[in-house]
């Protein structure tokens, strides 16, 4: 198994940074201050950027972050602590509006527009109201249209476990900020796995909630049918804390007793063609859960094999991305500023007719009905988050054929839950010293609380082993 090679400016102990609750407890006890936490994060960011790291896009406004931290400390001293996030540094994916800043969604300057945002995106506003200190905008796949996280405009964020490997996307910079302690948590989006893929590749915990539980207002769209907003963090508890702020609804996420849980595992499609290391880590995780009293229920879901045919023309995401980008891609000057790979994928949407689009919606509804039948009586649906280990950057940086084939392979598993309008966590399940592997704990529409409950139990079992 390949050993870890930390990326530029990284520290090999990136997994040891405290959780949100641990940081909040340290603030409550007076063991630290928000100013100290933010200053330390800014120091790590400076080292990361000096070493050629690309987690953040552009300049991080250190002065504004430190002032916000000092304000938070003063409010805490006066007894004003709006949430557990109060005073904690958080990074923001570059597709969210932040008042006074320009939202580029990972694109080159001038696309989608040069004007600063007049207001925060709803998700950003909720974080700010909860007292979080916003550090900066994180790098991403341009317009969030790739699961690999590469960006030709702003640099490719390197994997903290092995700098020769990709971070995964589209929330690539977001994952790096959490893994390297450049933020305590990150705000990301997930259309086909964009939170869970980088979480899996970077040894983090990521949560994709049911779409529309978190307001999309002020977030640059990719696919109106599939986009969702959620956190990348260090634990299920961190994700639950952030979800409560982002959604405005505190779910009952107390850990479920593991003994007796019925955890479904689909034998086909999502287990096809796994890397040997991924298969080994996943099966080892299932063995530990079974030994702890969970019931692993193997079941067939042959209809998932239809997904490549259903999405052969690009699927909902391509059709809806073309709707967003059509005017710019039909303007030669603006189109020339796009990542050519993103432009190529998006232009495929021009060939999807209204009738084709309705067929996609009908196919989605049909598979959702099948999924409800297959998952009936199960507490959660487990699968490897991604079928492969984080691929090597050199294998696809200049080879379009390799890039598109790898992108499809990386997106395959996580996009299943998006297509079915479900929710899912990705939890680290690799052995110590191995490259990160994610185990997905999923559920269907509205099962967010149960996924968090089961996720806490699964996480505790995996960490105890």
Which residue shows structure tokens 């999309």? 216
Helices 315-329/340-347 angle, 10° precision: 110
In a domain, 329, yes or no: no
In a domain, 273, yes or no: no
For the chain, how long is the longest CA-to-CA vector?
A: 61
Supply the residues annotated as catalytic. Answer: 93, 170, 194
According to the model, what pLDDT value does residue 110 have? 67
Closest CA to 200 of 160, 144, 228, 229: 160
Q: Which residues pair with 424 in a beta bridge?
A: 208, 442
Domain count, the chain: 1
Which residue shows structure tokens 């007796």? 260
d(CA 341, CA 353): 22
Closest CA to 222 of 141, 324, 311: 324
pLDDT, one tens digit per residue, over 228-283 is 999 999 999 999 999 999 999 999 999 999 999 999 999 889 999 999 999 999 99
- Contact indicator for 133, 34 with CB cutoff of 8 Å: yes
pLDDT of 6 strictly over 50: no
In a domain, 283, yes or no: no
Which residue shows structure tokens 């996609």? 360
Residue 155 Rama label (left phi>0; alpha psi -120 to 50; beta): left
Closest CA to 195 of 239, 152, 162, 155: 239
pLDDT of 453 strictly over 60: yes
pLDDT of 10 strictly over 70: no
pLDDT, one tens digit per residue, over 53-66 is 999 998 899 999 99
Q: Measure Cα distances from 407 to 146, 167, 414 in Å.
A: 7, 12, 12
According to the model, what pLDDT value does residue 395 have? 86
In a domain, 460, yes or no: yes
d(CA 268, CA 246): 34
- CA atoms within 13 Å, Cβ hemisphere of 111: 22
According to the model, what pLDDT value does residue 14 have? 41
pLDDT, one tens digit per residue, over 363-411 is 999 999 999 999 999 999 999 999 999 999 998 988 999 999 999 999 9
What pLDDT band is residue 113 in, cutting at 50, 70 and 90? Answer: low
In a domain, 162, yes or no: yes
Give the alpha-carbon dihedral of 224, 225, 229, 234, to 10 degrees: -140
Closest CA to 217 of 123, 81, 102, 82: 123
pLDDT of 15 strictly over 70: no
| Residues contacting 154, CB < 8 A, separation 6+ | 54, 57, 106, 139
d(CA 196, CA 429): 13
Closest CA to 210 of 446, 455, 454, 368: 446
Residue 427 Rama label (left phi>0; alpha psi -120 to 50; beta): beta
pLDDT, one tens digit per residue, over 197-221 is 999 999 999 999 999 999 999 999 9
Helices 236-247/20-29 angle, 10° precision: 80
Neighbours of 210 (CB within 10 A): 21
In a domain, 215, yes or no: yes
Domain that holds residue 422: 14-260+388-464
CATH classification at residue 445: 3.90.1300.10
In a domain, 450, yes or no: yes
pLDDT of 4 strictly over 60: no
pLDDT of 2 strictly over 70: no
pLDDT, one tens digit per residue, over 132-189 is 999 999 999 999 999 999 999 999 999 999 999 999 999 999 999 999 999 999 999 9
Neighbours of 235 (CB within 10 A): 20
In a domain, 364, yes or no: no
Averaged confidence pLDDT in the chain: 95
d(CA 137, CA 430): 29
d(CA 278, CA 70): 44
Tokens of 189: 């989006």
| Residues contacting 432, CB < 8 A, separation 6+ | none
| Residues contacting 208, CB < 8 A, separation 6+ | 190, 193, 195, 196, 228, 230, 414, 417, 418, 423, 424, 425
Closest CA to 175 of 233, 130, 251: 233
Mean pLDDT of 9-32: 79
Closest CA to 370 of 316, 315, 420: 420
pLDDT of 443 strictly over 80: yes
pLDDT, one tens digit per residue, over 312-344 is 999 999 999 999 999 999 999 999 999 999 999
């Amino acid at each position: 198994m390949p050993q870890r090679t930390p990326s530029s400016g990284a520290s090999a102990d990136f997994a040891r940074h405290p959780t949100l609750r641990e940081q909040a407890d340290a603030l409550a006890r007076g063991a630290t201050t928000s100013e100290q936490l933010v200053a330390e994060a800014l120091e790590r960011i400076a080292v990361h950027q000096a070493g050629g790291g690309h987690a953040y896009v552009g300049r991080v406004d250190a002065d504004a972050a430190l002032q916000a931290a000092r304000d938070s400390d003063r409010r805490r001293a006066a007894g004003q602590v709006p949430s557990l996030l109060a005073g904690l540094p958080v990074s923001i994916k570059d597709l969210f509006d932040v008042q006074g800043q320009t939202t580029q969604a990972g694109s080159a300057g001038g696309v989608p527009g040069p004007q600063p945002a007049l207001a925060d995106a709803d998700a950003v506003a909720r974080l700010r109201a909860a007292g979080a200190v916003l550090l900066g905008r994180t790098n991403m796949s341009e317009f969030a249209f790739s699961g690999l996280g590469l960006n030709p405009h702003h640099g490719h964020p390197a994997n903290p476990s092995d700098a020769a490997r990709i971070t995964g996307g589209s929330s690539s910079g977001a994952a790096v900020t959490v893994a390297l302690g450049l933020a305590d948590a990150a705000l990301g989006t997930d259309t086909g796995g964009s939170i869970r893929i980088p979480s899996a590749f970077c040894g983090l915990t990521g949560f994709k909630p049911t779409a529309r539980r978190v307001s999309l207002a002020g977030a640059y769209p990719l696919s109106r049918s599939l986009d969702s907003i959620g956190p990348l963090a260090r634990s299920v508890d961190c994700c639950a804390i952030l979800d409560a702020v982002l959604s405005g609804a505190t779910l009952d996420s107390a850990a479920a007793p593991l003994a007796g849980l019925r955890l479904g595992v689909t034998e086909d499609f999502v287990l096809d063609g796994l890397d040997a290391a991924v298969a080994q880590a996943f099966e080892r995780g299932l063995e530990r859960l079974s030994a702890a009293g969970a019931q692993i229920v193997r079941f067939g879901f042959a209809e998932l094999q239809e997904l490549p045919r259903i999405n052969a023309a690009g699927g909902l995401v391509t059709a809806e991305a073309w709707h967003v980008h059509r005017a710019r891609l039909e303007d030669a000057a603006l189109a020339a500023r796009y990542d050519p790979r993103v432009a190529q994928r998006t232009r495929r949407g021009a060939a999807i007719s209204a009738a084709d689009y309705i067929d996609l919606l009908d196919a989605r509804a049909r598979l959702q009905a099948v999924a409800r039948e297959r998952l009936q009586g199960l507490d959660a649906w487990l699968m490897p988050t991604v079928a492969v280990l984080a691929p090597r950057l050199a294998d696809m940086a200049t080879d379009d054929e390799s890039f598109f084939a790898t992108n499809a392979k990386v997106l395959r598993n996580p996009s299943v839950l998006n297509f079915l309008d479900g929710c899912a966590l990705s939890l680290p399940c690799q052995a110590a010293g191995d490259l990160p592997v994610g185990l997905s704990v999923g559920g269907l529409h509205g099962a967010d609380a149960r996924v968090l409950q089961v996720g806490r139990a699964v996480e505790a079992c995996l960490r105890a082993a």
